[in-house]
Amino acid sequence: MLLKGMRDGIPIGLGYFAVAFSLGITAKAIGLGPITCMITSVLCHASAGEYAVYSMIGANATYVEMAIMIFIANARYLLMSCAMSQRMHPDLSFGHRLAMGFGITDELFAISIARPGMLNPNYMYGGMIVAIPMWAAGSAIGCFSGGIMPERIVSALSVALFGMFLAIIIPPAREEKIIGILIIVCFAASYLLTAFSDKLGMDAGTRTIILTVAISVAAALLFPRKEADE
């Protein structure tokens, strides 16, 4: 199972490397070094959270302000942790639960939760072994490069991550029409909320939390799934 997780983590890691490269360039612009950037990426796996922190470092924000910003930007992972906890075996140790929670990202959560049955920690560890080091390496290399590459090339590399998202959501959408409809609703609601986010004073992390809770609750109430007998 560990090898399967590593295999599925390869495309995620490649996408992470491309996005983290541009993140490293941002870190370089505010005066951080490659080692500091790499350690930050090892401890924080969310691009939105890291971008927010780097922006606040550049603005000379306090530690408390940065901590609050990270909490808000990454609060959606609390929801993912709750969802994963429902799929863990009751006898799974606290150590495994803590390690799996530490490694939660949007993509690793998606490939793990998409597997049938109880979650196997070894599968998620396999994805983490590949994806997280590539995320940290991309940040360090991007910081070291310091803007040598043209900005348009860095932006083009980031497209790989969106392609990976499509590869995750299209197969289940083809199997169940309800999932496909919900994906379309998510896209439309995200676009509308993003268009009005400036007027509402809402950042990307808050938008994600609101949409996740609202659409998930609505889908659960309108289209409940019957649990299979053990």
Let me know if residue 79 belongs to a domain.
yes
Interval 178-185 mean pLDDT: 88
Q: Is this model's pTM higher than 0.75 or not?
A: no
Let me know if residue 209 belongs to a domain.
yes
Q: Which has more pLDDT, 77 or 228?
A: 77
Split at pLDDT 50, 70, 90, the class of 226 is low
**pLDDT, tens only, 109-160:** 888 888 888 888 899 999 999 999 999 998 899 888 766 766 676 666 656 5
Let me know if residue 171 belongs to a domain.
no
**pLDDT, tens only, 29-84:** 788 888 998 998 888 887 777 877 887 788 787 888 788 778 877 878 888 888 88
Let me know if residue 150 belongs to a domain.
yes
Split at pLDDT 50, 70, 90, the class of 230 is very low
pLDDT value of residue 154: 61
Given 110, 129, 161, which residue is the final one in a domain?
161
Task: Report how many domains make up the chain.
Answer: 2
Q: Is it the case that residue 16 has pLDDT exceeding 70?
A: yes
The answer to whether residues 129 and 49 belong to one domain is yes
The answer to whether residues 198 and 115 belong to one domain is no
Let me know if residue 220 belongs to a domain.
yes
54 near 26, Cβ under 8 Å?
yes
60 φψ region: left (φ > 0), alpha (ψ -120 to 50), beta (else): left
Residue 2 in tokens: 């560990």
What is the overall mean pLDDT for the chain?
A: 82
Percent of the chain with pLDDT over 70: 84
The answer to whether residues 23 and 65 belong to one domain is yes
The answer to whether residues 7 and 102 belong to one domain is yes
The answer to whether residues 151 and 55 belong to one domain is yes
Split at pLDDT 50, 70, 90, the class of 162 is low
73 near 205, Cβ under 8 Å?
yes
Start-end of H helices in the chain:
2-29, 34-43, 47-58, 63-73, 76-85, 94-102, 106-113, 121-145, 151-157, 159-175, 177-195, 197-200, 204-222
The answer to whether residues 67 and 106 belong to one domain is yes
Q: Is it the case that residue 179 has pLDDT exceeding 70?
A: yes
pLDDT value of residue 155: 63
Let me know if residue 169 belongs to a domain.
no
Q: Which has more pLDDT, 228 or 62?
A: 62
Q: Is it the case that residue 212 has pLDDT exceeding 80?
A: no
The answer to whether residues 13 and 71 belong to one domain is yes
Q: Which has more pLDDT, 8 or 168?
A: 8
Q: Which domain holds residue 188?
A: 176-225
User: For residues 54 and 24, what is the distance between their CA atoms, to the nearest angstrom?
Assistant: 10
Split at pLDDT 50, 70, 90, the class of 229 is very low
Radius of gyration from C-alpha coordinates of the chain = 18
125 near 99, Cβ under 8 Å?
yes
Q: How far is CA 176 from CA 170, 171, 223, in A?
A: 10, 9, 12
pLDDT value of residue 129: 92
The answer to whether residues 195 and 156 belong to one domain is no
Let me know if residue 215 belongs to a domain.
yes
The answer to whether residues 98 and 204 belong to one domain is no
